[in-house]
Chains A and B, each alone.
Chain A
Amino acid sequence: MPQEYKLLLKHADADGYSNDLECYERHGGYAALRQALTIAPAGDNTPQAQLRKRVLDSGLRGRGGAGFSCGLKWSFVRHPNPKPVYLICNADESEPGTFKDRQIIYKDPHQLIEGMIISCWANHVNLAYIYIRGEFTEGAKILNTALAEARAKGYLGKDILGSGHDLEIHVHRGAGAYICGEETGLIESLEGKRAYPRIKPPYFPAALGLYMCPTIVNNVETLCNVKHIVEMGAEAFTKLGTPNNTGTRLVSLSGDVKNPGYFEIETGKVTLGELIHDENFGGGLREGRMLQAVIPGGSSSKVLKAGEIFKLGEEEIALLDVPYDFDTLMKIGTMSGSGAIIVIDDSRDIVECLANLAEFYAHESCGQCTPCREGSLWMNKALHRMTHGEGRAEDADYLKHIAQNIQGRTICAFGEACAWPVLSFVEKFRDEFEAKAK
């Protein structure tokens, strides 16, 4: 029977574990940092370069949504750099269905801070920020307390543990907008402006990020993993999970399962079916219910329909047998995104489900660029018309037309995020949409 594999969540929920520094240190905390700071130069390779290489070799991929190689992202920043390099921890966690980063922030904040300090050291960063979702008021307090503890102990501030490296980390609270999680929107917001995402090119954070300086933006979970890579070594990390899908993933499981919640799994070692049905995970659907659909990677990912069979090269694979990883989900036309699985059973009106999502996106579009600004509300209005008895035979194509006008034409990936649910729901459940015609 598939099991959880607890790497990041090893202690968080353990009895008696608290989020203070003393408890963290008692459980071996900050040993990885000490280790990282004492790496000796090897030939031309600075300790920092060696660390970055380790992260690259570990195969760590971003846990914020896109699954981009963390080591590769770091390599885009030139060293030595004439400008200050910043690191930002993206703790905005707003993708509907996602509730994993907050587990660490609330229960094990020092794990994140240690991961950040190591990452800052590795990337020559002297000033870092944690951009935390506005609604996490308590989380912000916890982080600030933890940062103060770390500062008092010399893990932060001037000359960290005698390394000669200075580092300060500040917590910045968002003010309640999903778009603040998009990295360039986040940067604008951090600069005190409206969170209007920047155009890329030219504003790639690695070159022109915070205050137009090179900036690394990583998700909470990604940064925590850095600590474990240092602790266990890149080689051992690659043994976790599956090739190119290394390490563990925090999965947020919600919707129509008996046992919703968060789980940590080895990436790709557990299937969607197991996550939904196994006792160790979702525990199955409610009595008498059948699976209708699965949204596999946060509300922005393309929906999968119960019973779907996918072709992977020569092989065929059924929906429930899909291993939960980055690559397979991409190959079947969707993504594992933020690791949030939303299960929809047959009691749900699928058009209503989509209308609900569309409302979220219409409300959260920042409105900067034309296709998303106008299209997100347009789709929402159309869907709500349909769920209010005013559907038309042509609405499926109509929705598709609107969504196609958005994807690939916007400033930020919110365009895809709002178009993909519509495109996939309409494609896979066309009958349901057509059935809404008056």
Chain B
Amino acid sequence: MPDEAKVEEPSVIETIAVKVDGKQVAVPKLTPDWQGKLVPTTVLQACKHAGIEIPHYCYHPKLPVAGNCRMCLVHVGMPGRPGPDGKPPMNEDGSLKIDPMVLPYERGTPKGVIGCATNLIPGMEIYASSPETKEMREAVLESLLINHPLDCTICDQAGECKLQEYSMEHGQAESQFAEQKVHKPKAVDLGPRIVLDAERCVLCTRCIRFSADIAGDDALGIVNRGSYNSIATFPGAPFDNNYTLNTADICPVGALTSKDFRFQMRVWFLKETNSLCTGCATGCNTVIGSRENKMYRQEPRENDAVNGPWMCDSGRLDYKWIGSEKRLSKLNGATDWTTILAEITTNLEKAAVTSVAIIASARQTNEELFLLKKLADKFEAITDSVPRNGEGDHLLVNADKNPNSNGARLIGIAGETLGANLPAIAEGIENGTIKSLIVFGEDVTQHGISAALLEKLDLLIVSDIFANATTARAHYLLPGCAYAEKRGTFTNVKGQVQKFMKALDAPGNARAEWEFLHELVENVTGQNGFSTIEGLFNQMAGEVDAFKAKELNWAALGDDGVTVEI
């Protein structure tokens, strides 16, 4: 996130007293705005503090306020204007006189304010659930629905649609609308990943504001006027930045949909699992949607310390490989895990100290790297992992394409510069000092350790999820898991240690790396480790300095993770 997104902490939280639905509540005077800057608390936020949700479409806590949908209209009471003595009008009992707001030109009619853009005033009364407020909401909903196609049964948003939800909660049973509806374009191709149904759009401009103010791409706008308004791109300029799919997330209705996901699955069938994107060192928090062991989508999960509510398109769509037919699912070298691990143990036990090298992957979890480090310690093995550099951007994408480079550094698998030891390992194999090599998740032939060198080894143990030139030469090949198929933690670019959960079962004989590594380490070192991920994490937290300093434990990581010193 940009720097200005950092939330300032007020030293003392000043509060302001208001009444919400007759109940006196004290709410913070200031609340972070979309950029995290502390600004006066609004009526909508005050109601939230009081546990009352004001329905809204255009308001989004991480976007500039637009105030256009009017769904958040609420009737309020205000103190009167100060008189000549500078004092506001008082009741007989000496309390502040509060008058329900009325239209200035029609004093018998209540007047609402928009909750999303109206700041609290001391003494204010918010009639969040009054008949007056309800009537205003119903009217806005009625207006939104008169030209809506009402085709919820075939709409992809069904189940996640705010229009559907609010109509149930706040709508009238029936509209009086007796005219012809406005027809607008349907299935408009806005860009390579987003489709627009203009008839379903409520013109809240969330998508426009996201693109312009967050993604920094002024790609979307509104064409036509009045009821014919429609979201559009500039002619010949498709909506195609690396963040477009976020607009489908924040679109409160079914107007913007992801081409990747639309019509794939009714959302209520999806199982949701907290996960992380492994596309780069940012480690955006995600939720995986899956059903019957098939992954249908991943969406950003809000974490202000990492990605806010957003993620990039390339990260989001980088999951198709998980269910690929080409995944490694068979053991090679033996028929079952017990046998293969026993054989590997026997072979490793014969290896001399310093004759073993380990090349791990910075795409592996902290736990896996920690277990590999245990093996390395046993053999005083030289270790490293492979760097993966690309381009970063102004918002989320990091130039380091490994999700766990910092984990590899902190655990001691790699030094400050990933890959610095690779030439030494190549040389060791070449001159015969290194006879056994353990490789996880990398095709080392791409990184300076040629196939010819691999052929020279006495023992090559490889774990991966796809076949490559390294796996082809393995004496033992151990099929591993995609991140969605296991649990674990990564340490992101800022040192945020975050965990992810298992959404899918691995194919065939593939097995979570930490599980079989745990067995292998136990076999080889004789040390008794923990056989649960929680126990393993907590053990690691007690041994890795940076984790120890923060007294990390699995439970304390929570959903958002904890930052450690890097």
Contact = CB atoms under 8 A, between A and B. Distances in A.
Contact-residue bracket for chain B: 35 or more
A208 interface: no
B315 interface: no
B45 to A, nearest CB: 15
Interface string B135-155: 010011011101100000000
Interface stretch (B114-122, B192-200, B539-547): B114-122
B227 A370 contact: no
B224 A367 contact: yes
Given A376-B227, A377-B226, A378-B177, A370 B112 contact: no
Given A177-B225, A367-B229, A378 B179 contact: yes
B222 interface: yes
Interface in A356-392: 362-371, 373-378, 381-382, 385, 392
Given A382-B179, A407-B103, A374 B225 contact: no
A202 interface: yes
Contact of A367 (B117, B146, B203): B203
A366 B226 contact: yes
A194 interface: yes
B103 A369 contact: no
Given A199-B65, A411-B68, A364 B177 contact: no
The residue in B70, B112, B146 that gathers the most chain A C-beta atoms within 10 A of its C-beta is B70
Contacts of A405: 139-140, 142-143
B234 interface: no
Nearest to A376: B226
Interface string A201-233: 110000000000000000000000000000000
Contacts of A409: 70, 73, 112, 136, 139-140
Contact-residue bracket for chain A: 35 or more
B143 A363 contact: no
Interface string A222-259: 00000000000000000000000000000000000000
A367 B140 contact: no
A381 B179 contact: yes
Contact of B225 (A199, A365, A375): A365
B68 A369 contact: yes
A382 B178 contact: yes
Interface in A140-198: 177, 194, 196
A201 B147 CA distance: 29
A363 B226 contact: yes
B114 to A, nearest CB: 7
A370 B69 contact: yes
A373 B69 contact: no
Given A367-B224, A367-B227, A409-B73, A377 B182 contact: yes
Nearest to A395: B178
Interface string B50-70: 000000000000000111111
A411 B67 contact: yes
B111 interface: yes
Interface string B104-116: 0110010110100
A412 to B, nearest CB: 11
A392 B144 CA distance: 24
B136 A370 contact: no
A370 B202 contact: yes
B225 A364 contact: yes
B55 to A, nearest CB: 12
Nearest to B177: A378
A311 to B, nearest CB: 16
Nearest to B111: A408
Interface secondary structure of B, over-half rule: loop
Contacts of B221: 194
A278 B88 CA distance: 49
The residue in B178, B202, B203 that gathers the most chain A C-beta atoms within 10 A of its C-beta is B178
Contacts of B431: none
Nearest to B71: A370
B91 interface: no
A27 to B, nearest CB: 41
B179 to A, nearest CB: 4
Nearest to B112: A409
A398 interface: yes
B17 to A, nearest CB: 21
A409 B111 CA distance: 8
B180 interface: yes
Interface string A115-145: 0000000000000000000000000000000
Nearest to B116: A199
A72 to B, nearest CB: 14
Given A408-B111, A408-B112, A409-B112, A398 B140 contact: no
Contacts of B142: 405
B225 A363 contact: yes
B321 interface: no
A79 interface: no
A99 to B, nearest CB: 24
A18 interface: no
B226 A365 contact: yes
B73 A367 contact: no
Nearest to B143: A374
A109 to B, nearest CB: 31
B335 interface: no
A369 B117 contact: no
B263 interface: no
The residue in B105, B111, B146, B182 that gathers the most chain A C-beta atoms within 10 A of its C-beta is B105
A202 B117 contact: yes
Contacts of B179: 378, 381-382, 385
Contacts of B140: 370-371, 405, 409
Nearest to B39: A202
Contacts of A375: 143
A13 to B, nearest CB: 36
Contact of B114 (A199, A374, A407): A199
Nearest to B226: A365
A199 B117 contact: yes
The residue in B66, B112, B179 that gathers the most chain A C-beta atoms within 10 A of its C-beta is B179
A374 B70 contact: no
Contacts of A411: 67-68
Contacts of A177: 225
Nearest to A423: B106
B382 to A, nearest CB: 59
Interface in B33-53: none
Contacts of B261: none
A362 B226 CA distance: 7
A409 B133 CA distance: 12
Contacts of A201: 117-119
Contacts of A377: 182, 226-228
The residue in A194, A367, A382, A416 that gathers the most chain B C-beta atoms within 10 A of its C-beta is A367
B142 to A, nearest CB: 7
Nearest to A362: B226
A401 B224 contact: no
B176 interface: yes
B225 A369 contact: no
A199 B146 contact: no
B178 A398 contact: yes
Interface in B424-469: none
Given A367-B224, A392-B178, A408-B103, A374 B68 contact: no
16 contacts: A199-B114, A364-B225, A370-B71, A370-B203, A371-B139, A378-B143, A378-B146, A381-B179, A381-B180, A398-B176, A405-B142, A407-B103, A408-B112, A409-B112, A409-B140, A411-B67
Given A199-B67, A201-B117, 20 more contacts: A177-B225, A199-B65, A362-B227, A363-B225, A365-B226, A367-B226, A367-B227, A367-B229, A369-B67, A369-B68, A371-B139, A373-B227, A374-B144, A374-B227, A378-B143, A382-B178, A408-B103, A408-B109, A409-B73, A410-B70
Cβ-closest 9 pairs across A and B: A367-B229, A374-B143, A199-B67, A377-B227, A365-B226, A381-B179, A405-B139, A367-B226, A408-B103
Interface of B: 65-71, 73, 103, 105-106, 109, 111-112, 114, 117-119, 136, 139-140, 142-144, 146-147, 176-180, 182, 202-203, 221-222, 224-229
